[in-house]
Chain A
Amino acid sequence: SQKIEQNSEALNIQEGKTATLTCNYTNYSPAYLQWYRQDPGRGPVFLLLIRENEKEKRKERLKVTFDTTLKQSLFHITASQPADSATYLCALETSGTYKYIFGTGTRLKVLA
């Protein structure tokens, strides 16, 4: 069956460190993989998109990798700050469709 898995346990890290979040999927062939940030009671906010033919994408302190062989994406936040504390969601869109499947999200807490 199709699955998208993110570490459901909260991730606590010290301010200034790099946070690494994982998104694994099975039985999908995504054309794109996206990462969103969600704060409590709010809608998701788009962060980064990576295409199936791209290995890595960067935006300021954010970096995402996409390994279609391992069926995994890693999301990194460098020099993390308490303001980065939120739930981070990965989402897949399978080729040729406009149907997006979200993972359960990983809650990140950056400790001052």
Chain B
Amino acid sequence: EPEVTQTPSHQVTQMGQEVILRCVPISNHLYFYWYRQILGQKVEFLVSFYNNEISEKSEIFDDQFSVERPDGSNFTLKIRSTKLEDSAMYFCASSDLGSSGNYNEQFFGPGTRLTVL
């Protein structure tokens, strides 16, 4: 069964450093998302991406964040200058407009745990 993959599974970085989190969405999906979940808290929407541009973004997704689909398979989230409060689990998700009727069903990856020291 197709799945969303994310690398690395755990990233440790120093405050102020740039990090890039990588995701490979399901191959025929058209919509891509990033979420974060601080330990013990709820899943928070960061950004949605369709047709090579951002569709929606939340207040969390400020100028320090950017997303890119550099080729036909990868979808990346970059944090330019990490802060302590960026420590969280980051989930990538993808969805399509399939014929099943569940076209907003999102498939989540296993997450990247980001630790900022």
Residues of chain B contacted by A34 (CB below 8 angstroms): 104-106
Q: CB < 8 Å: which of B42, B56, B105 contacts A98?
A: B56
Residues of chain A contacted by B55 (CB below 8 angstroms): 97-99
Query: Would you give the 0/1 interface string for B83-117, flagging 1 where the beta carbon is closer than 8 Å to chain A?
Result: 00000010101000000001011111111000000
A61 at interface (Cβ–Cβ under 8 A)?
no
User: How many residue pairs, one in A and one in B, have C-beta atoms under 8 Å apart?
Assistant: 59
Q: CB < 8 Å: which of B50, B102, B104, B110 contacts A93?
A: B104
Q: B110–A100 contact, CB under 8 A?
A: no
Q: Is the interface of A mostly helix, strand, loop or mixed?
A: strand
Residues of chain A contacted by B109 (CB below 8 angstroms): 43
- In which size bucket is the chain A interface? 20 to 34
Q: B43–A97 contact, CB under 8 A?
A: no
In the docked arrangement, what's the CA distance between A98 and B45, Å? 10
Taking the closest CB of chain B, its distance from the CB of A69, in whole angstroms, is: 22
Query: Would you give the 0/1 interface string for A85-109, flagging 1 where the beta carbon is closer than 8 Å to chain B?
Result: 0000101010001111111110000
With A32-B104, A45-B108, A89-B42 known, 16 other A-B pairs at CB within 8 A are: A38-B43, A41-B111, A43-B91, A43-B110, A43-B111, A44-B43, A46-B102, A89-B43, A93-B104, A97-B56, A98-B33, A99-B48, A100-B45, A102-B42, A102-B45, A103-B42
Q: Which residues of B contact A (CB under 8 A)?
A: 4, 31, 33, 35, 41-45, 48, 50, 55-56, 58, 89, 91, 93, 102, 104-111
What are 15 contact pairs spanning A and B, CB under 8 A?
A32-B104, A41-B111, A43-B93, A44-B106, A46-B102, A46-B105, A97-B56, A98-B31, A98-B55, A99-B45, A99-B55, A99-B58, A100-B48, A102-B42, A104-B41
